[in-house]
């Protein structure tokens, strides 16, 4: 079922001045290529059209583009100071025990050593234990498998952030 009216947040995004829209997209995802692709495809008739464009752009990111996107994400358990998005998304770690936080730090460092980038997971709705378990499981992946998982997780994060951008007033 398709709605005939465009949500106010999507209308606002579609009509933002180009630099402001680009800035908003870069806050959702640090990839310049991804942001430029979504910007070029404006206006979007529906939120689903925007999400589909995001997914398509994500699928086409080069290894360098993916590195740029990942560089915008802080390690799990250490959200960027002053960044409400990463703090909200990682809220499952907020009440974690000191032991869990210490274990996540150790695992994050081992993961970064192995793969050369931050452990990326769509943390929204996950507990600290679930994130730790995913990290434990994924650290043994071959690099090419892990890269595919990272791309999928980043796509999920981008959709959540885009929804917040266009669906909220």
The predicted-structure confidence for 57-103, as pLDDT tens digits, reads as follows 999 999 999 999 998 887 776 766 666 666 677 777 777 888 998 99
Domains and CATH numbers, the chain: 8-167 (1.10.3330.10)
Alpha-carbon torsion, ordered 53, 23, 89, 156, to 10 deg: 10
Which entry of 37, 73, 132, 161 is annotated as an active-site residue? 73
Active site residue 19: no
Average pLDDT, the chain: 90
Cα separation, 52 vs 93, in Å, equals 30
Q: What's this model's pTM, rounded to 2 decimal places?
A: 0.88
CB atoms within 10 A of CB 43: 12
- In whole angstroms, what is the distance from residue 89 CA to residue 96 CA? 14
Alpha-carbon gap, residue 53 to 41, rounded angstroms: 8
């Amino acid at each position: 079922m398709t709605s005939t009216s465009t949500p106010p947040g999507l209308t606002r995004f579609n009509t933002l001045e180009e630099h402001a829209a680009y800035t908003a997209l870069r806050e959702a995802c640090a990839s310049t290529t991804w942001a430029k692709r979504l910007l070029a495809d404006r206006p979007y008739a529906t939120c689903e059209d925007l999400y589909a464009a995001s997914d398509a752009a994500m699928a086409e990111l080069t290894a360098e583009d993916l590195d740029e996107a990942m560089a915008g994400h802080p390690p799990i358990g250490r959200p960027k100071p002053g960044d409400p998005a990463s703090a909200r998304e990682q809220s499952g770690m907020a009440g974690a025990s000191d032991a869990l936080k210490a274990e996540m730090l150790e695992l994050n460092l081992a993961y970064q050593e192995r793969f050369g980038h931050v452990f990326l997971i769509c943390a929204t709705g996950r507990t600290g234990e679930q994130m730790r378990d995913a990290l434990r499981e994924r650290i043994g992946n071959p690099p090419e498998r892990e890269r595919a998982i990272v791309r999928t997780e980043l796509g999920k994060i981008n959709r959540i952030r885009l929804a917040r951008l266009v669906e909220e007033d």
